[in-house]
Amino acid sequence: MTIHKARQALSILQVLEPSGGGSGRHFIDLCRGLKDRGHRVIAAYSPLRAEERFVSELLALGLAGVRAVPMTRAPGPADFKAWRMLNAIIRDDGPFDAIHAHSSKAGALTRLRFPGSDIPRIYTPHAFRTMDPTLGRAGRLIFGMIESVLGRFFSDRIVCVSQDEQAHARTLGIPSKRLTTVVNGVTAPPAGHGPALRDRLGIARDALLYGFVGRLSHQKAPHRLLDAFDRVAGEQPDAHLLMIGAGELEDDVRRRIAASPFADRIHLEPGIAGAQAMDAIDALVMPSRYEAMSYVMLEAAAAGKPMILTDVGGAGCVLEHGVNGLLLPNTDSPDALASALGKFANPETLFAFTVEAERRKHRYALSAMVDGTEAIYRALVARPSGARALTHADHALAKNYDHRCSPSRRPRPSWIND
């Protein structure tokens, strides 16, 4: 590999198992950004959990190739077949300058290989499984051991999307020299769709509309929001809740909505793009149990929307408690969340949060994310295998990260009682 390679177009294999949520959005945006810069990109995805919209967007990018590799979410015998298929892609569609895997399953399948000189392997977890506070001791030990071994011995770089996630990676025993933080970036959601969407859903244009966007999954904790909304809806007769998303809990969420005394004011719309819904809502509510750096909150921030977030990975980077929204304790108790919803129902409070959110909405650009990721590829390609320590260019990526995102420097909120 010559030094001139650093200035040439690269050949990159991108691999993803889940297609929904932030990881899917990141994958599409990164593939598009790299392709637009002249790089050759082959994308491999799993059709088993692929959303139709994701596949359509991926195929429309005009990449050098799109390959379907059935990858199951849970470990099992099918992993060996998926591993062989990925290695066939590496052999037949290569040569590749770098292989970048997204999510835990793709990360494991692409990093497991025979010893010796090989193509640089990059891994973006999009939230380590061990960041889930409800994961039991056995699960934490097993998943933590897997991530530690793969991170220490089989990874050339692990790209974290927040300083919170990078700090967690270090607790797993992954050395700092393997870690880099590149914050997710977004384009501003389209404006002008809000009134029409409200009209279609039968929501008055002057009604208070809370919004939830995300997979209906244990991680995103939609039941927390439903419990809290039931507590405050009786005192807020003009309040509505719009939930955008699908997932394994969808049937349960539908049953929970049907049983609510305020079911006529809870709207579940899995077919709407979350970015398009941002213009319709007054505030984003994200009660997640764990995150790395949520695309949803970045899109809400880019749309100038105030937020109610649980204090999980990356939340403190876009939300300053009491300024452009409220940070809440990460608990299943609905008390704090219900109280926060009630505070947002005060027109003066909502207006003040919205003004500040509008002022901050230009902070996270998609181009910066692509810049940072491309710099990692070039740094790895330009040096021999086995000597891949962080360079000054790698460290410079951290300058794109707001200093308040550092867990050690971020002021802790006094929660809802301030």
pLDDT digits (tens, 9 = 90+) for 6-22: 468 999 999 999 877 77
Question: What domains does the chain contain, in order, with CATH numbers?
Answer: 3-185+365-402 (3.40.50.2000), 194-362 (3.40.50.2000)
Q: Which long-range contacts (CB under 8 A, 24 or more apart) does 352-358 make?
A: 353/283, 353/306, 353/323, 353/324, 353/325, 354/282, 354/304, 354/305, 354/306, 356/306, 356/320, 356/323, 356/324, 357/301, 357/304, 357/305, 357/306, 357/307, 357/324, 357/325, 358/304
Q: Residue 342 to residues 35, 229, 302: CA-CA distances in angstroms?
A: 46, 9, 24
Q: Is the pLDDT of residue 351 over 60?
A: yes
Q: Is the pLDDT of residue 189 over 80?
A: yes
pLDDT digits (tens, 9 = 90+) for 44-93: 999 998 888 899 999 999 999 999 999 998 888 999 999 999 999 999 99
- Residue 305: closest CA among 314, 294, 292, 296: 296
In sequence order, what DSSP letters do the residues of 18-39 get, joined into one string?
--SHHHHHHHHHHHHHHHHTT-
The pTM for the full model equals: 0.71
Handedness of CA 119, 120, 125, 131 (dihedral sign): positive
Residues 6 or more apart whose CB falls under 8 angstroms from that of 248 comprise 216, 217
